[in-house]
Structure 1
Amino acid sequence: MTDRRGAGTSCGQQMPTNNILWQALAVLFLFVAASLMTFPHAALAQNFTINSFDVEGNRRIETGTIIARTGIEPGQTVTAGQLNDAYQRLLDSGVFETVELTPRGSTLVITVQEYPTINQISIEGNARVKDDVLLDVIESQPRRVFTPQLAESDADMIAEVYSAQGRVAATVIPRIIRRSDNRVDLVFEVAEGTTIEVERVSFVGNRAFSDRRLRRVLETKQATFLRTFFRNDTFIGDRIEFDKQVIRDFYLSRGYVDFRVNSANVEFTRERDAFFLVMNVTEGQKFSFGKITTVSEIPGVDPAPYQDALKIKPGVTYTPTLVENSITRQERLGLKQGVDFLRVEPRVTRNDRDLTLDVEFVLTKGPRIFVERIDIEGNTTTLDRVIRRQFDTVEGDPFNPREIRQAAERINALGFFAVAEVEPREGSSPSQVILDVDVEEQPTGSLSLGGSYSVTDGFGIAIGLNESNFLGRGQNLGVSISTAQDSEQYTLSFTEPYLLGRKLRFDLGLGLSATNSGFASYDTSSLFFAPQLTYAIGELSALRVRYGWDRSEMTQQDNEVNGAVISSEIAQGKRTSSSLGLSYIYDSRLGGLDPNTGVLFEVGVDAAGLGGDNKFFKTTARGIAQTRVWNEEVVLRATMELGALHWRGNDFSRTVDRFVLGPNTFRGFEPAGIGPRDLSNGQDDAIGGNYYWVARFETDFPLGLPEELGLRGGLFYDVGNLYNIDNVNTAGATIVGANGSIRHVIGISVLWETPFGPLQFNFSQPLKKESFDKEQNFDFTIQARF
C-alpha cells in the first residue's frame, strides 16, 4: 500500500511538466508559422511602383490638382510611409472631408469626398446683437468651402462678441443643413444667456485713497439700479486689464512711483449671478521732485538755456508726464537752435530719506537716422493730410521716437479710428526709417434725440446731427434744433481745426433763436453769424479773434402791458450789431502740472460799430480755480465773473444789449431776478445793467451713500451785483436798483451722476437782497464741469 501510494505520487508530479513543455512547443510553432506567413507578405506590400492615377469623387477640385497635391510622380516607387504622407497632404489641404488611397497594381486609386460649399449663413437665437454685427466677425462666407474647424472658430468669435458685452455664459453651436449639389446651409445657434454684472468693486492695500475715490477712476463700475441705461457695471474681462493700467497711471501721476497692482481677482457671488472684483495693490511712498539739473554731453551745446526751458520746480509732486513734457520742450529747443539728433535722457536719483527724486536731463546725440517716408494705410474716408498733420516730423527730418509716439497718441485722440498704430521699420538703408501708419476707421457721425427741462424755459426737445470728420477732412459739422415751451433755437456750427494747414482753429456759428419767456413781458428773436479764429500762443494760453453779427428784435407779448423802458425798446424794432472781438485764454489744466488743481482765466473785449446800428465796447472776464482735498474726496471751486458795457451811440441801448443774470450765473433768483427794474405802468420789468460782477464759492463732497447711486452733496455761496443804466431811455419810467447793491446767497446742492448727464439740484436762500428782487429757491441744471 505504501509502495503504490509512493508510485502514484511520483507519476502525478511528472504529468504537469510534460503539459507545459508541449504547450511551449506549440506556441513556438505557431509563432514561427505566423512569422513565415507575415514577413513575406509585408515585404510584398512595402513598395509600390505607381505608373498611373485614378481619381474618384471630385467635383470642384481638378484631377491634376489632386494628383499634384500627393507629391507622387508617375513611374515613382513609393513606400507605405510615402503613401501615408500623400494621404496626409490631401487631408491637410482643408477641402476634403474624407480621403482614401488604394494601390491597384501600378495604379493608385484616390477616392475623395469634398467638403460641401456653403450655400448661406444664418444666425438664430440672437436678440441682443444684430446679425450684421455677428456676420462681420466670422470668416466663413457663402460660396466658400465649409470646414468644421473654421465653423468652430467662428462660433468662438461670436461668443467673444457676447462676452465683450458681459454675457460670458453665451453659447454658440454651429450646425449644417445638407442641400443638393454638395451644398450646406451653415446655422449658428446662439443661446445669449444673461449679462453678468459687477456687484462690488473693492481694493486691498490702499491707504492714501479710499475705495470710493479709486472706483471713480475705473472704467468698470458697480451695479446700479439704472443699469438698463448705464452698462459700465457689466463684467467684461478686457476692461479689467484696462482698469489695471488706469489705476497705475492714477497713482504714478500723484508721485507713487513704486505703485503696483498685485492682482485683480474676479469671483462669482454665491448665487453665481454677479461678480466681485477685488484689486490688491501696493501703494508705496509718495515722491516729489528734488534737484532738477541739465548737463550736456554734446560739444558746443550750452545746457543753460535748456535748463531755463524747464517748468518743473523742486517740491512738486513727481509725475512721469512732467518729465516727458520737459524732454519734449528741450528737444524742440534743440531743433530751434539747429542741434540735429538731440536726445534728452532723464537720469533719476532716488532719495529715500526725504522721498524725493533728483532728475538730471542729459543732452546727448542720437543715431543719425532720417525719416524716409510716412506710409498710411486703412483710411478709406479720411484724407492722408488729416493724419499727416498730427506729425511734427516730415520726410527728411531726423527720426525721433518720442515724437512718433506722441503723434500716434494724437491720431488716436482724433476719435476717427477704432485702431491706429504707428510702427517704424528700416527703409532703403540703415540710416533711413519708414513710418507705417495703419488705421481702421470707425463711424464719426451721430444723431441725438433728447428731452430737456429747465426752470427758465420749461420742457423741450432737442435734436442734433453731428459729423466730426466731415468729408474725411477732419472738420466738424453740426446741426441742432432745440425747442422748449419758452424758447427755441436753430444752429449750424462748423469747425476747421487746421485752417490753411496751420494750427489755427476756425469756428463758425450760424443760427436763429427766439424766446417767449414767462419771466419777461416781451419776446425776442435773433439771427446771428459768428466766425472766430483761435491760435495757441503758448503751452497753456491762446488768443481768440472773432467777428459777430446779429440782428435782434424785441416784440410785445399778447395781452401784456409794458413799462416805459421796455415800450421804448420795443419801438426801436429790428437792430443789428457788427462787432470785432479779442480774447485771451489761460488754462493751467493743459499742462498737467497738478492733476488735482487747475486754473482757467479768460478776458475779452468786443467793439461794435463796424456797420450796424449799435456801437459799444463790451468787456468780460472770468476766472475759475479748483482743487481737491482730503484724499481728493472733496472738491473746492471758486469762480469770478464780471462784465462792463460802454455804450457809444447817440441812441439808447436795449435790455437785450445789456447784462441780464440768470440762475446759471447767480443762484437764488429768477432769470433777470436782480438788477435795475422799471415799475412804471404797474409793471415790474427787469431792464438789465451795464456792469456786473459775481463771485461763486462752492464745494461738493460724498454723502456716505452707496456709490452706485451716484449722489454727492454740495454747499455754495454766491455774492454779486448788477447795476448802472446809463444810455437807457428812462422817460416816464419808475426805476429802482439803478445804483445796485450786493446780494448774498447760500445754498445746498445735490449732484446726481446719471446716464443722461450730471444733474445739479440747488436749494438756495438769499441772505441779503432788495425788496424788488425775484427769488427762486429751487432750480436744477446740467452740472457745470471744470
Structure 2
Amino acid sequence: MKRLLLAALAAAVGLVPVAEARAEDPLEITLRLPDEPVAEVRVEGNRRVDTEAILADLETRAGARLSRDAIRRDLARIYAHGFFDDVVVRLLDAKEAGTTGPVVVFEVHEKPTIRKIEYEGNKEIGKDDLKDLLEIRPFTILDLNRVQATAEKFEEKYREKGYFLATVTYRIEPVPDEAAVDVVFVFDERQKVQVKEIRFVGNDHVPESEIEPFLETREGGWFSFLTQSGTYVEEALKRDLMRVASVYYDRGYINVKVGQPTVSLSADKKWIYISIPIEEGDAYDVGEYRVGGDLIADESLLASLLKMKSGERFSRTKMIQDIFALQNYYRDQGYAYVNIAPLTKVDTDAKTLDLTLDIDKGQKVYVERIEIKGNTRTRDKVIRREFRIAEGDLYNGTAIQVSKERVTALGFFESVDLEMRPGSGPDKVVLEMTVKERPTGTFQVGAGLSSGEGFLVTAQIAHDNLFGRGQSVSLTWQYSSLRNIFQLQFQEPYFLDTRATFAFGAYNTRSDFFDFIRNSTGGSLTWGYELVDDLRVFGTYTLENVEVSSLAQGGPSNFYGGGITSSLKLSLSYDKRDNRLFPTRGQYQTASVEHAPDWLGSENLFTRYTLVSRWYYPLPLGIVARAKGELGYITGENYPISERYYLGGVFSLRGYLLRSISPTVEYASSDDPLGGTSPFRIGGNKQILFNFELEFPLLPMVGVRGVLFYDMGNAFADDAPFFTDRQHDLPLGMFHSVGFGFRWFSPIGPLRFEWGIPLTPRPEDEAIRFEFTVGNFF
C-alpha cells in the first residue's frame, strides 16, 4: 500500500522517473491522496544544510492536508536553495510511521562542495593571473555553469595573449569518503599565433603607412615579446575597423565603407593573415562652414573658435574638436546642457560639404549643491577648498574641470570622479565628487649597500595628509659613512583656511666631503601665499650653525670656515603637476634667491641664486618621461666651503661618487718645501645639472617600475664660465652618465635601486655604481 501511495503522489507531482510512475497504470493515476492531515514533515539526506532552514520554507506542514500544488511549490523552493541536485518525495502511512497521520519525507541529495581547484598544462599564464578570473571558489557548492564560465574566461585570456587555438576543459574528481570534489582545469595551450600581415584592399588614395599607426592590432616583429604586438584579439580588430574609417573621415572620404575582414590561418597554424576591404569613395572639401541656432555672442567671435576652415579638406576630428570648443564656451557661460548638431549639405558635383553647427543652448543652470563621497579620512574642507566653483554659482565647465584637477593633484586619492546630476529644478544641478582614498602615511625602515657610501640605514615617519587636514609632516634619519641626517619638517598649505602657507623645519646633519666634514644644526621658518592658481610666493628665514673641519692633512686652511648663517630666501614656484606625490604629467618651476647679510647677524655672507625646472610627459604603455634642469650660482665675501657646489651621487649625477665632482686646486700636503702636492676639492661657485628619465611598469600589481636615465652636469670653478671645465676635456663641459634601475612603491614608501654608468669617467671612477635610497627623485 505504501509503495502505491508513493507512486501515485510522485506521479502526480512529476518527481520520480517515468519507469516508476507509468501513465498506463490506472491504479497509480487514479489513486487519491489521503484525507487525513499530515502528522509530520521530515527531511532526510541533508548533511551541511540545517533541517530547520529547509522546513521553514515549505508550504507543506504538520496539521495541513496534502496538496499536489503545494508539494510542487515546495520542491521548487528546495531546489532554489542551490545546494541540492536531486529531491525525492516519499509518503509514509500512519501505521508504518507510527503516527496519527501520514508523514511526508523530502529526501535530498546535496551537491558536492569544491575541495580544491587545480590546473594542468598552463605554462604561459601563471596561476596567480588565472585566479583573478575564477567564477568558483574552494569550499563552495559546485556549480557546473560557473565552472564552464571560468573555462571560457581562461580561453579568452589565452586569446588576448595570442594563443588563438588554446582550449580549456575541466574534470570533476570526486573525493573518496567525502561529499566533495576537486575541479581540475586542463589547458591545451598549443602554439602562439601571431599576426603576420595586415593587408588593405582598395586603399588607392590613403597608403597603409597612414592607417597602421592608428590600429590596435599590429603585425608581429622581433620585439613582440615586449610590446605584445602581433597578438590577435577579435574585439580589438572590430575596433580597428572603426579606426580605419576614422582615418578616411579625417581625409575627407565621407562615404568610405570598411568591409568585414578576412582572417586566415597559415598551414602550420603559426600565423594569421588579415585582409581588410575598403571602398574609399570621393574626398570632399569644406564648403560653407558656419555656426547657427542659439547664438549668445557675435557670430564672428564664435567662428574664431573653429579650427577647420572653408576650402580645406574635411576632417571629422577637427569638426568634433570645434564642437567641443563651442560646447566649452557655452558651458562656461552657464549652459550646462548645450547641444550642438552638425547639419550637412553635400554637393556631389563640386565634392564639397557645407556645414552648419546648429546650437541648442538650453537654459542657464546653477550649482545647487556640491557633494563629496568616499573621503573616509580626508576632511571635506580639504577637498572643497580646491574647488573653483561654489554652491549657488552659475555653472562653469572650466571651473569644474580645474576643480577636479586640483583635487587630483593633492595626491591623497587613487581616483577622483566628478559627475553632474539634475537638481531640484530644471535650472539647478548637483555636482557629486567621489574619491577613493590612498595611503598617505608611511613608516620606512631600510638598509642597503652602496658602492660609495657602504652600509646605509634610513628611517622615516611621514604623513602627507595628517589627521585628514591636508598637512604634511615627516621625521627622517639617514646614516652612512658619508652622511648622518636628522630632519623634522611640517607644512600647512592653507594656514587658518586662507591662501597662506606656513612651514617649519629643524635639522642636524653631518656630511663628509672627503677633504672636510660639515656639521650643521639649524631650522627654518617659511611663509607663503598663493598669488593665483598654481603660482605661489614664499619667504623663508633660516638660522643655522655651521662647522667645517679639515680631513686633509695640511689642507688649505683659508677655505675652511663656519659660524652662524642667518638668511632670507625669496622664492616663486609654479606647480602644474597632475599629482604632487606621484606626478605623470605637467610641470613644476621654481626660482629663488637666498641672501645672508651681516645685518641679519649672519657670519657667513653670501647670496645664492637657484632655478629648477621639472617636466613630466605621459607616453603609451604606462611609460612616463621626466626631465629636470637645475642651475645654481653663489657669490659672497665670506662663506664656508661647504656652501659651494658639489655633484655626484643618487640625488644629482648618478654613476659618480657622492659629492666627488668639483673643481680642484693643488696644495702642499706637508711643511716640507720639497714635498709633493695633492688635489683638494674646493667646490664650484656655479652648477648646471640635467636629469632625464623613462619610467615604465615592470610588475604593476606590486608597484614595481623600471627606469632608464641619462644625467649630465658639472660644478664650475670661479674663473670658468658655464659649460667650461678647465681640468677635464668634457662634452659641453659636463660629466655624463647613463643607467638603469627599478623603483618599488612599497607600502612603506618609494624605494630606489639604481646602477649608474659614467660616460666620462675619471681614473678614480668605477665602471658601474650601485646606489640605494628611499624617496622620490623628481
Q: TM-score surpassing 0.5?
A: yes
1:99 aligns with 2:87: yes
Match of 2:731? 746
Q: 1:212 offset after TM fit, Å?
A: 14
1:297 aligns with 2:285: no
Distance 1:460 1:401, change over 3 A: same
Q: 1:452 offset after TM fit, Å?
A: 6.5
Give the distance between the partners of 1:686 and 1:351, measured in 2 at CA. Answer: 77
Match of 1:524? 518
Match of 1:374? 371
Match of 2:680? 685
Q: 1:85 offset after TM fit, Å?
A: 3.9
Report SS of the residue matched to 2:558: helix
Match of 2:638? 652
Give the distance between the partners of 2:168 and 2:303, measured in 1 at CA. Answer: 59
Conservation of the 8 A alpha-carbon contact between 2:57 and 2:74: no
Query: What is the aligned-residue RMSD (CA, Å)?
Result: 7.4
Distance 1:403 1:140, change over 3 A: farther
**Counterparts in 2 of 1:560-599, with a 5 A limit?**
560-566=553-559, 569=560, 572-585=561-574
Report SS of the residue matched to 1:575: strand
1:606 aligns with 2:594: yes
Distance 1:396 1:362, change over 3 A: same
Report SS of the residue matched to 1:56: strand
Q: Deviations over 1:563-600 (max 9, x none)?
A: 0322xx3xx4443333232224487x989xxxx99987
Q: 1:276 offset after TM fit, Å?
A: 11
Amino acid aligned to 1:605: V
Match of 2:698? none
Give the distance between the partners of 1:201 and 1:92, measured in 2 at CA. Answer: 47
Give the distance between the partners of 1:290 and 1:619, measured in 2 at CA. Answer: 57
Amino acid aligned to 1:526: S
1:513 aligns with 2:500: no
Give the distance between the partners of 2:328 and 2:667, measured in 1 at CA. Answer: 61
1:621 aligns with 2:617: no
Match of 1:755? 742
Q: Deviations over 1:451-498 (max 9, x none)?
A: 5747x7577565666655554555555555544443344445556666
Q: 1:561 offset after TM fit, Å?
A: 2.1
Conservation of the 8 A alpha-carbon contact between 1:294 and 1:304: no
Q: 1:262 offset after TM fit, Å?
A: 10
Match of 1:22? none
**Counterparts in 2 of 1:398-409, with a 5 A limit?**
none
Larger radius of gyration: 1
Give the distance between the partners of 2:479 and 2:352, measured in 1 at CA. Answer: 58
Distance 1:431 1:474, change over 3 A: same
Conservation of the 8 A alpha-carbon contact between 2:693 and 2:707: no
1:556 aligns with 2:543: no
TM value normalised by structure 2: 0.57
Q: Deviations over 1:232-255 (max 9, x none)?
A: 9899999x989x99x99xx99xx9
Amino acid aligned to 1:364: K
Q: 1:109 offset after TM fit, Å?
A: 0.9
Conservation of the 8 A alpha-carbon contact between 1:331 and 1:343: yes
Amino acid aligned to 1:563: P
Give the distance between the partners of 2:679 and 2:535, measured in 1 at CA. Answer: 43
- Residue in structure 2 matching 1:89, options 77, 99, 104: 77
Amino acid aligned to 1:547: T
1:148 aligns with 2:150: no
Segments of structure 1 that go 5 or more residues without pairing to the other structure are 1-35, 225-231, 701-709, 725-736, 766-772
**Counterparts in 2 of 1:686-701, with a 5 A limit?**
686-688=681-683, 690=685, 692=686, 694=688
Match of 1:207? 209
| Count, aligned residues | 661
Give the distance between the partners of 2:260 and 2:409, measured in 1 at CA. Answer: 30
Q: 1:56 offset after TM fit, Å?
A: 0.9
Report SS of the residue matched to 1:148: coil
Q: 1:328 offset after TM fit, Å?
A: 8.9
Amino acid aligned to 2:482: D
Give the distance between the partners of 1:210 and 1:546, measured in 2 at CA. Answer: 54
Give the distance between the partners of 1:236 and 1:346, measured in 2 at CA. Answer: 38
Match of 1:69? 58
Which moved further from structure 2: 678-687 or 170-179?
A: 170-179
Distance 1:77 1:781, change over 3 A: closer
Segments of structure 2 that go 5 or more residues without pairing to the other structure are 1-21, 94-100, 200-207, 281-285, 670-676, 695-705, 744-752
- Residue in structure 1 matching 2:536, options 539, 543, 553: 543
Give the distance between the partners of 2:434 and 2:272, measured in 1 at CA. Answer: 38
Distance 1:350 1:659, change over 3 A: farther
Give the distance between the partners of 1:37 and 1:415, measured in 2 at CA. Answer: 75
Conservation of the 8 A alpha-carbon contact between 1:296 and 1:303: no
Report SS of the residue matched to 1:91: helix
Amino acid aligned to 1:297: D
1:109 aligns with 2:104: yes
**Counterparts in 2 of 1:75-474, with a 5 A limit?**
78-79=67-68, 83-96=71-84, 98-102=86-90, 107=102, 109-113=104-108, 147-149=141-143, 156=150, 207=209, 223=225, 297=294, 330=329, 334=333, 339=334, 341=336, 343=338, 364-366=361-363, 368=365, 370-372=367-369, 374=371, 376-377=373-374, 379-385=375-381, 392=388, 395-396=391-392, 443=439, 447=444, 449=446, 451=448, 453=450, 460=456, 470-473=466-469
Match of 1:26? none
Q: 1:90 offset after TM fit, Å?
A: 2.1
Q: 1:746 offset after TM fit, Å?
A: 1.7
Give the distance between the partners of 1:581 and 1:638, measured in 2 at CA. Answer: 25
- Residue in structure 2 matching 1:54, options 27, 40, 46: 40
Q: Deviations over 1:310-369 (max 9, x none)?
A: 798999x988998799679746853xxxx5658585969999999999997969344647
Conservation of the 8 A alpha-carbon contact between 2:567 and 2:594: no
Distance 1:752 1:139, change over 3 A: same
Amino acid aligned to 1:148: L
Report SS of the residue matched to 2:759: strand
Amino acid aligned to 1:746: P
Amino acid aligned to 1:764: T
Distance 1:312 1:235, change over 3 A: closer
Q: 1:776 offset after TM fit, Å?
A: 6.9
Q: 1:88 offset after TM fit, Å?
A: 1.9
Conservation of the 8 A alpha-carbon contact between 2:606 and 2:638: no
Conservation of the 8 A alpha-carbon contact between 2:371 and 2:430: yes
Conservation of the 8 A alpha-carbon contact between 1:526 and 1:550: no
Amino acid aligned to 1:207: S
Amino acid aligned to 2:55: I
Match of 2:15? none
Report SS of the residue matched to 1:147: coil
Give the distance between the partners of 2:564 and 2:295, measured in 1 at CA. Answer: 66
Conservation of the 8 A alpha-carbon contact between 1:713 and 1:749: no
Match of 2:483? 487
Q: 1:91 offset after TM fit, Å?
A: 1.4
**Counterparts in 2 of 1:630-669, with a 5 A limit?**
642-647=631-636, 652-660=638-646
Q: 1:522 offset after TM fit, Å?
A: 0.7
Q: 1:293 offset after TM fit, Å?
A: 9.1
Match of 1:229? none
Report SS of the residue matched to 1:562: coil
